[in-house]
Amino acid sequence: MSIDVHVHPWTRAFMKRNGPIMKACDFFKLDVSELPETTDQLLVEMEEAGVARAVILGQDTHATKNQNFKNYTMKNDEVAGIAARSGDRLVPFAGVDPNAGGDALRELKRAVRKLGMRGLKIHSSANSVYLNDKRLMYPLYEFCEDSGVPILFHTGTTGLGDCEIKYSKPELLDEVCQSYPDMKVVMAHFGWPWPEVAVAVALRNPNVFIDVSGWRPKYLPQSVFPYLNGPLQDRFLFGTDYPMMRQKEWLGDFEANLKGRLKPGVAAKLLSGNAKRLLSD
């Protein structure tokens, strides 16, 4: 049974309220009528696909200047509530808006200590904050390193419209990881179009993981594949970016196009073993 580390607990109604997300649906050529109507549908789809657990990601843009993201926040209480009703099948990561300064750190502490959330998600392009911003980001990093809270970062380009990818370049995380060597980091989407940089950052920083979400396995770039199959086989993570990509669809493509090319043991590490280590299960 696999663990999907990159799931958005979005409903169709929530997505329709967000112009940048609707642009992502266009980007992925999605049929809006097939988007989930309720968050319960996620559990049904996981069951059908054989996915045992999933990390659901919070998001917070309440203090962000970019008005296109004014409807984008999902409250941590809501995300933690969805996880609590799942019987341990959903693992909640908090969202905070770094633009809120001290309030962001307070909210992160509350999410971890009071709500029992298990990690942090940062989409720096949605927040218009550079990943290596010392004033806004480093206090969050300090808490995460000290508390053993992993951070999943969006890295590289994004399907989301109305924002800029310069904030999410994987090279910015090298400086961060050198400053916080014990912090567990996930670089989502292997930082494309800078996958070699993401791989280099992971090779230099042993607590950095890479998730393959948002990509069909058959399109995995050749510059990434040898590392998944070799020196970084303990650090690659299965993720879908649900509901932009569905679990059944991803795993079917994996069986058909990628599994047979992997060395013995690598598939199990990718699908669940590495995620268990990330989540300290």
Residue 241 found at the interface with Zn ion (CB under 5 A): yes
- Could you tell me the smallest distance in angstroms from the CB atom of residue 163 to Zn ion? 13
Stretches 9-17, 21-29, 87-95, 234-242: which one binds Zn ion (CB under 5 A)?
A: 234-242
* Cβ closest to Zn ion, residue 97 vs residue 241: 241
Beta partners for residue 57, in sequence order: 93
Stretches 43-51, 76-84, 113-121, 238-246: which one binds Zn ion (CB under 5 A)?
A: 238-246
* Cβ closest to Zn ion, residue 125 vs residue 274: 125
* Cβ closest to Zn ion, residue 153 vs residue 233: 153
- Could you tell me the smallest distance in angstroms from the CB atom of residue 59 to Zn ion? 9
- Can you list the pairs that 170-174 forms with residues at least 24 positions away whose Cβ atoms lie under 8 Å? 170/194, 170/197, 170/198, 170/201, 171/197, 171/201, 172/130, 172/131, 172/132, 173/131, 173/132, 173/201, 173/205, 173/208, 174/200, 174/201, 174/204, 174/205
Assigned token pair, 86: 């799942």
Residues 125/163, Cβ–Cβ less than 8 Å: yes
Assigned token pair, 126: 């949605």
- Could you tell me the smallest distance in angstroms from the CB atom of residue 160 to Zn ion? 9
Stretches 73-81, 124-132, 174-182, 236-244: which one binds Zn ion (CB under 5 A)?
A: 236-244
* Cβ closest to Zn ion, residue 158 vs residue 233: 158
The closest alpha carbon to 110, from 74, 77, 63, belongs to 77
Stretches 100-108, 167-175, 215-223, 239-247: which one binds Zn ion (CB under 5 A)?
A: 239-247
Q: Which residues bind Zn ion (CB under 5 A)?
A: 241
